């Protein structure tokens, strides 16, 4: 280490840099650091001069880090955490005193299950920490993990992840049929003949055919799609008013049944099972707030 050169650097700038990486906003970083916006803007100007790079570019979605900023964050994030641990002897995260916003990315079927549980926990435990849930899916998960705003991403376990991505299993499950028993009189469980003859609503990010279509086609049937929606929220009004059946992940099916008094049935096909994983970027690994968040989610995993 070149001590002489390092003495010329204000190491507080690195704290500002990491806050900007996490918040993607000068305003939010200033609030988090209890500084004025002008002070954070001045620090950003000095950081740009120090590293010889713009570091962040302003977009409609916020301040997007440059490749150089991402590389810097991956190296100094764990370092700052280690320094804090040396000075404060591994400080614990206190959700009842923290104003931090925890940013989670997930598909809306998981949001349907987790958002109300997180809200109830926050009330019961009197946490001050906030939760912000952003949309992602199995096709867009990498963008969510690489977004410095997000603390953690929940998605169907990817086949490959990359060295900069850490993960742990969150939950596993299969699929169920769900329908409105006041509009459809079906056997329990639903028979294959009934299933093949019914009108279906398909839920898919790209509203394209999926495994149900393929398995029915293999048995000589074409699924009768009444409509296709890209979000699970679209099922609420459809299942409330329309005599259709939906085949969706069991956690979402059970959540909708609680809301709408629907009927559940096993799928009369040999459907796949899936595993959901929690994924995060290596730059946040080991921080007290991230360890706390993962502990909270592990407590909810059994319910999901």
| Domain 175-272, second-level architecture | 3-Layer(aba) Sandwich (3.40)
Rounded Cα gap, residues 84 and 116, in angstroms: 34
Task: Write down the CATH number for the domain with range 101-173+275-301.
Answer: 3.40.190.10
Q: Which of 286, 247, 287, 289 is nearest to 268 (CA)?
A: 247
> At a CB cut-off of 8 Å and minimum separation 6, what does 240 contact?
180, 260
Rounded Cα gap, residues 276 and 292, in angstroms: 19
Q: Which fold has domain 3-88?
A: Arc Repressor Mutant, subunit A (1.10.10)
Residues of the chain with CATH 3.40.190.10: 101-173+275-301, 175-272
Q: Which of 276, 138, 110, 104 is nearest to 206 (CA)?
A: 138
Residues of the chain with CATH 1.10.10.10: 3-88
Geometric angle at alpha carbon 206, from 160 and 210, rounded to 5° = 75
Q: Which of 11, 276, 288 is nearest to 151 (CA)?
A: 288
Query: What's the pTM?
Result: 0.69
Are the beta carbons of 47 and 65 closer than 8 angstroms? no
Per DSSP bridges, beta strands 199-203 and 165-173 are unpaired
Q: Which of 93, 104, 103, 118 is nearest to 292 (CA)?
A: 93
Q: What is the pLDDT along the chain (304 residues), one digit of tens a residue?
A: 444 455 667 778 888 888 888 777 888 888 878 889 999 999 999 999 989 999 988 877 678 888 888 778 767 766 665 565 555 444 578 999 988 899 999 999 999 999 999 999 999 999 999 999 999 988 889 999 988 889 999 999 888 877 778 888 888 889 999 999 999 999 999 999 999 999 999 998 887 888 999 999 999 999 999 999 988 988 999 999 999 999 999 999 999 998 899 999 999 999 899 999 999 988 777 788 888 999 999 888 877 7
Q: How far is residue 40 from each of residues 19, 45, 158, measured CA to CA in Å?
A: 10, 9, 37
Are the beta carbons of 271 and 215 closer than 8 angstroms? yes
């Amino acid at each position: 280490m070149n001590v002489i050169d390092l003495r010329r650097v204000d190491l507080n700038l690195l704290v500002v840099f990491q806050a900007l990486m996490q918040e993607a906003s000068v305003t939010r970083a200033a609030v988090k650091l209890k500084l004025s916006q002008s002070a954070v803007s001045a620090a950003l100007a000095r950081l740009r001069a120090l590293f010889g790079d713009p570091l962040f570019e302003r977009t409609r979605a916020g301040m997007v880090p440059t490749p150089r900023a991402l590389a810097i964050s991956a190296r100094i994030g764990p370092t700052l955490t280690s320094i804090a641990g040396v000075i404060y002897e591994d400080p614990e995260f206190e959700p009842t005193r923290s104003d931090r916003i925890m940013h989670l990315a997930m598909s809306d079927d998981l949001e349907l299950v987790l958002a109300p549980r997180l809200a109830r926990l926050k009330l019961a435990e009197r946490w001050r920490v906030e939760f912000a849930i952003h949309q992602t899916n199995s096709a867009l998960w990498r963008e969510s993990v690489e977004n410095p705003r997000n603390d953690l991403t929940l998605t169907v376990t990817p086949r490959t992840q990359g060295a900069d991505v850490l993960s742990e299993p969150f939950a596993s499950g299969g699929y169920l049929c769900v329908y409105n028993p006041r509009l459809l009189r079906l056997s329990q469980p639903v028979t294959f003949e009934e299933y093949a003859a019914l009108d279906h609503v398909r839920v898919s990010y790209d509203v394209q055919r999926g495994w149900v279509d393929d398995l029915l086609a293999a048995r000589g049937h074409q699924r009768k799609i009444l409509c296709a929606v890209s979000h699970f929220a679209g099922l609420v009004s459809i299942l409330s008013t329309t005599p259709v059946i939906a085949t969706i992940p069991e956690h979402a099916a059970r959540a909708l049944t609680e809301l709408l008094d629907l009927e559940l049935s096993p799928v009369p096909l040999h459907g796949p099972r899936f595993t959901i994983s929690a994924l995060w970027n290596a730059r946040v690994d080991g921080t007290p707030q991230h360890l706390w968040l993962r502990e909270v989610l592990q407590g909810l995993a059994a319910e999901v």
